[in-house]
Amino acid sequence: MKTATAPRHVHAAPTAPPAARSRRRRDPAPYLLLSPAALVLAVVTLAPIGFLVFTSFTDWNQRTLFTGTYGFVGADQYTTLLGNPAFWWSLLRTVLFTTAMVAGSVLIGMGVSHLLTRLGRGWRYTVTVVLIVAWAMPNVAASLVWNWLFQPGYGVVNWMLGVFGDTAGLNWAQDPVLAYVVIWLLIVWQAVPFIALTLNAAETQVPHEYQEAARLDGASEIAVYRIVTLRFLRPTLLLITILSVIWDYNVFNQIWLISRGGPGDATATLGVYTYKTAFVGFKIGNGAAISVVTTLLLLALTAVYIRNLLKAGEDL
């Protein structure tokens, strides 16, 4: 089965290279075509990655910004970092928060995807448009809307919660737990459309005969979904989950614009912690070391994702 993450038109593509193409093996054309982009990518992506690793072995800081001088400190940034409880707390926060966000968005996404398969045309169309509009909201705009929805005093959410008592003054961003709730709601709200639509594309491909057969055998609707549908969705679900983990682990804008990582450091996940270290405290060498560690922690997942994506539909 093709997963929905592969462009659908890939089905029409030949899987083996036709003879015509292998004849051109000595053709310099591909190299000529590739070289401008390769050159630019080498300068703007590969060189910076090398430079990031390099910087993590220096004491690049605010002084360097003006004087241009810095010294090599060997692995000092790494030993300091690994001995710093703030880093470990930030890592723990990131792992727990990522888990909560991924679980929330994937579960709701699965529900919405399933709902879409059971709706009539009109409702299906309405739900799809709603999903796309929510998905299209830019990060910055969505974060500002969130701040306004949850604003203490005039925010509409506090007004709605008023049925449970006097909540008008509830200050979401200033409370460690509530700040997480607000950010979680925003991330899940933004993530569900992609997950629901991708899963739905796969779910409509599940052969009906299997579901019918299970129903004839007396399986309940829940059992049909769990035993039949879910089995077909598994590859897509795996890709979506990995992608969600990578994205949620890297979330920055929404946290920054809602809580700035506060109150205190309560919502300072690795992204925020790195940013504050590198661009608020201007300890860039230190920030580079955090970035390297953050990236390494993610590498295994990235590798699995790329493997799957390449396998899923792209003939190599």
Site for other proteins in 171-230 (CB under 8 A): 187, 189-192, 194, 197-198, 201
Residue 278 as a binder of other proteins (CB under 8 A): the answer is yes
Q: How far is the CB of 311 from other proteins (least distance, A)?
A: 12
Q: What is the dihedral of CA 245, 246, 249, 250, to 10 degrees?
A: -150
Whichever of 36 and 264 has its CB closer to other proteins, that residue is 36
Query: 312 with 2: CB under 8 angstroms?
Result: yes
Query: Measured between alpha carbons, how far is 260 from 1 in angstroms, rounded to an integer?
Result: 43
Residue 115 as a binder of other proteins (CB under 8 A): the answer is yes
Residue 164 DSSP label: G
Residue 146 as a binder of other proteins (CB under 8 A): the answer is yes
Q: Is 114 helix (H, G, I), strand (E, B) or coil?
A: helix
Please give the residues from 50 up to 109 whose contact with other proteins meets the rule CB under 8 A: 50-52, 55, 60, 64-65, 68
Whichever of 8 and 234 has its CB closer to other proteins, that residue is 8
* CA distances in angstroms from 89 to 49, 75, 86, 116, 283, listed in the order given: 26, 21, 5, 40, 19
Residue 125 as a binder of other proteins (CB under 8 A): the answer is no
Query: Measured between alpha carbons, how far is 197 from 236 in angstroms, rounded to an integer?
Result: 11
Q: What is the dihedral of CA 160, 163, 169, 174, to 10 degrees?
A: -70
Tell me which stretch binds other proteins (CB under 8 A): 12-20, 79-87, 204-212, 219-227.
12-20
Query: 191 with 105: CB under 8 angstroms?
Result: yes
Q: Which residues of 12-21 are buried (b: 16+ CB within 10 A; e: fewer)?
A: eeeeeeeeee
Query: 193 with 131: CB under 8 angstroms?
Result: yes
Please give the residues from 246 up to 265 whose contact with other proteins meets the rule CB under 8 A: 246-250, 252-253, 256-257
Residue 304 as a binder of other proteins (CB under 8 A): the answer is no
Residue 281 as a binder of other proteins (CB under 8 A): the answer is no
Of the candidate residues 81, 106, 127, 179, the single one contacting other proteins (CB under 8 A): 127
Residue 165 as a binder of other proteins (CB under 8 A): the answer is no
Whichever of 212 and 315 has its CB closer to other proteins, that residue is 315
Residue 241 as a binder of other proteins (CB under 8 A): the answer is no
Of the candidate residues 91, 137, 161, 178, the single one contacting other proteins (CB under 8 A): 137
Tell me which stretch binds other proteins (CB under 8 A): 78-86, 175-183, 217-225, 239-247.
239-247
The 3-class secondary structure across 8-72, one letter per residue, is HHHHHCCCCCCHHHHHCCCCCHHHHHHHHHHHHHHHHHHHHHHHHHHHCCECCCHHHHHHCCCCE
Of the candidate residues 45, 121, 208, 216, the single one contacting other proteins (CB under 8 A): 45
Query: Measured between alpha carbons, how far is 28 from 242 in angstroms, rounded to an integer?
Result: 38
Residue 1 as a binder of other proteins (CB under 8 A): the answer is no
Q: How far is the CB of 266 from other proteins (least distance, A)?
A: 18
Q: How far is the CB of 257 from other proteins (least distance, A)?
A: 6
Phi, psi of 13 (to 5 degrees): -80, 145
Of the candidate residues 82, 84, 159, 176, the single one contacting other proteins (CB under 8 A): 159
Residue 235 as a binder of other proteins (CB under 8 A): the answer is no
Tokens standing for 118?
């059971």
